[in-house]
Amino acid sequence: MRTLIALADANSFYCSCESVFKPNLWNKPVIVASNNDGCAVARNGLAKALGIPMGAPLFKIRDLIEKHNVQVYSSNYVLYGDLSNRVMAVLGSMTPEQEVYSIDESFIKIPEFAHDSATDYARRIRAKVVQWTGIPVSIGIASSKTLSKVASHVAKKQEQYGGVFDLSTANNAEDILATFPVKDIWGIGRQYNKWLLSQEIETAKDLRDANERIIREKMGVVGVRILYELRGISCLPLEMTTKPKQEICVSRSFGQRITGLVALQEAVAAYATRAAEKLREEGQVAEAMIIFARTSPFKSEYFRQSVTVQFPIATHYTPTIVESARKAMASIYEPGREFQKAGVLMVGLCPETTIQGHLWEKDEGWEKRQRLMSIMDEVNGRFGPGTIEIAASGGRQIWRMQSKWRSPRYTTCWAELPVVSC
Ligand SMILES: [Mg+2]
């Protein structure tokens, strides 16, 4: 049986989120700045066209910003996380086989009945997502995940396709693979890219047609899988993938269905602990975290919920992350549901050296923080969880984030609902 996989990828996701409730941004260059307004972490098409590089510190591009009236927003992961959840829910409603791959990407299996009209099917999905959420997505279709990534690049970059591109039926598929740089292939890191180039394997087509034995010797089974995937043989089932480095995800399916909140919190605390370790291993800190839980997609009344927590200062500090994860889980929990999977996704990653914190960066701050944590744990241990919360213990003033240009959290906060003037 033929497999058809689509990758739906939101266009300039954070910037699109900013534009949903601000139609005046639609024709303007927009960038989103990292926590504490340090550097550009997202750019829309017009901002990219101005030559603003990813990660550019704001003070370095101040002239460009002024000259071209670039709209700058402080990162608002609560808004982005919520809109992501909505986009994923719409995508998931079109097919039960969905893998939420990152905050703005999702693989979905094209159901068999739609195989002959996959482009039309994807167009309907796309129209539904934009109508229901306001977020434009590009959809690439192909017979494997790796090829669907290639297809989504084309869908996004080449306007004539209207946001949907089916590589499996395209008559220019060979040309596309022949011009697609090997370094942009999903799963090819810098080291492999270097080696492949030294072997004169420069494009997706070169790699597809490469000698399997040579690839296996150097890149092992991972390389062979990529090779097969490029040949249109699907080797990476949904959900079996490594996550991109911009995000760290720890998620598992449970051995048995979980219905109780305590067990769910335990699970998510363990994942959060692991996620924090991974962050420290890679010398990174996260600006925000998404907690999600879902029931089995193959049972009736499928339920998937997620919530985003934005840290006051990017962190890899286990107690902060675990505590936030447990609270977040409590906020999305619904009794009576049989949960099958939960996870923790750390987003907005940056090197720990760039933490733009204020007080905590200093040793004195760290000490205070450790002390605060131990006191909090002690009191909570004695009088019950949540007796003292971080925000309630006076931390809020100290930790307050500099987000001068943060948009309202339109979709998750009553006080910040969009206002319509008639
Ligand atoms: Mg995207």
Q: Say yes or no to pLDDT of 414 above 90.
A: no
For residue 256, how far is its CA from the centre of ligand 1 (angstroms)? 34
For residue 277, how far is its CA from the centre of ligand 1 (angstroms)? 27
Convert the pLDDT of each residue in 315-359 to its tens digit: 888 888 999 999 999 999 999 999 988 999 998 888 777 664 444
pLDDT band, very low/low/confident/very high, at 6 (cuts 50, 70, 90): very high
d(CA 182, CA 369): 46
Last residue of a domain, one of 170, 187, 206: 170
pLDDT of residue 169: 93
Q: How many domains does the chain have?
A: 3
Residue 62 CB partners (closer than 8 Å, separation 6+): none
pLDDT of residue 3: 86
pLDDT of residue 382: 63
Parallel/antiparallel/unpaired status of strands 164-166 and 137-142: parallel
Convert the pLDDT of each residue in 359-406 to its tens digit: 444 445 655 655 665 565 566 556 654 454 433 222 332 223 456 777
Q: Say yes or no to pLDDT of 284 above 90.
A: no
Span 285-305, mean pLDDT? 87
d(CA 45, CA 344): 30
For residue 380, how far is its CA from the centre of ligand 1 (angstroms)? 41
For residue 101, how far is its CA from the centre of ligand 1 (angstroms)? 11
14 and 152 assigned to the same domain: yes
69 and 120 assigned to the same domain: yes
pLDDT of residue 242: 47
Residue 233 lies in a domain: yes
Span 96-103, mean pLDDT? 84
CATH number at residue 401: 3.30.1490.100
CATH number at residue 185: 1.10.150.20
In the block, tokens 């991974």 appear at 278
With b for 16 or more beta-carbon neighbours within 10 A and e for fewer, the 204-234 pattern comes to bbbbbebeeeebeeebeeebebbbbbbbbeb
318 and 365 assigned to the same domain: yes
pLDDT of residue 371: 60
366 and 252 assigned to the same domain: yes
Span 161-190, mean pLDDT? 93
- The helix (H) or strand (E) run that includes residue 47 is helix 45-49
Q: Say yes or no to pLDDT of 275 above 80.
A: yes
Q: Say yes or no to pLDDT of 267 above 60.
A: yes
116 and 207 assigned to the same domain: no
Instruction: Identify the domain containing residue 124 by its residue range.
Output: 1-170
pLDDT band, very low/low/confident/very high, at 301 (cuts 50, 70, 90): confident
177 and 157 assigned to the same domain: no
125 and 147 assigned to the same domain: yes
For residue 300, how far is its CA from the centre of ligand 1 (angstroms)? 30
pLDDT of residue 48: 93
Residue 318 lies in a domain: yes
228 and 153 assigned to the same domain: no
For residue 257, how far is its CA from the centre of ligand 1 (angstroms)? 32
d(CA 170, CA 180): 15
Last residue of a domain, one of 242, 257, 291: 242
285 and 395 assigned to the same domain: yes
d(CA 189, CA 263): 37
221 and 339 assigned to the same domain: no
Q: Which spans in 180-283 are helix H?
A: 190-198, 204-208, 212-230, 261-281
For residue 375, how far is its CA from the centre of ligand 1 (angstroms)? 42
More confident residue, 17 or 374: 17
Residue 421 lies in a domain: no
pLDDT band, very low/low/confident/very high, at 26 (cuts 50, 70, 90): confident
pLDDT of residue 278: 82
Residue 322 lies in a domain: yes
Other CB atoms within 10 Å distance of the CB of residue 183? 15
Last residue of a domain, one of 122, 137, 170: 170
Q: Say yes or no to pLDDT of 303 above 50.
A: yes
Convert the pLDDT of each residue in 76-99 to its tens digit: 888 998 999 899 999 988 877 888
Residue 342 lies in a domain: yes
Residue 188 lies in a domain: yes
For residue 11, how far is its CA from the centre of ligand 1 (angstroms)? 5
For residue 350, how far is its CA from the centre of ligand 1 (angstroms)? 18
Convert the pLDDT of each residue in 233-249 to its tens digit: 998 887 744 455 578 88
For residue 13, how far is its CA from the centre of ligand 1 (angstroms)? 5
Span 262-276, mean pLDDT? 86
209 and 163 assigned to the same domain: no
For residue 3, how far is its CA from the centre of ligand 1 (angstroms)? 23
For residue 317, how far is its CA from the centre of ligand 1 (angstroms)? 28
Question: What is the rounded average pLDDT for all residues in the chain?
Answer: 84
pLDDT of residue 230: 96
Span 225-235, mean pLDDT? 94
CATH number at residue 156: 3.30.70.270
For residue 105, how far is its CA from the centre of ligand 1 (angstroms)? 6
pLDDT of residue 77: 86
For residue 9, how far is its CA from the centre of ligand 1 (angstroms)? 5
Span 43-68, mean pLDDT? 90
pLDDT of residue 381: 56
276 and 339 assigned to the same domain: yes
Question: Percentage of residues in the chain with pLDDT exceeding 90?
Answer: 48
Residue 422 lies in a domain: no
More confident residue, 148 or 348: 148
Span 296-303, mean pLDDT? 81
d(CA 230, CA 212): 12
Span 46-50, mean pLDDT? 93
pLDDT band, very low/low/confident/very high, at 417 (cuts 50, 70, 90): confident
Residue 328 lies in a domain: yes
* Ramachandran bin of 79, using left for φ above 0, alpha for ψ from -120 to 50, beta for the remaining angles: alpha
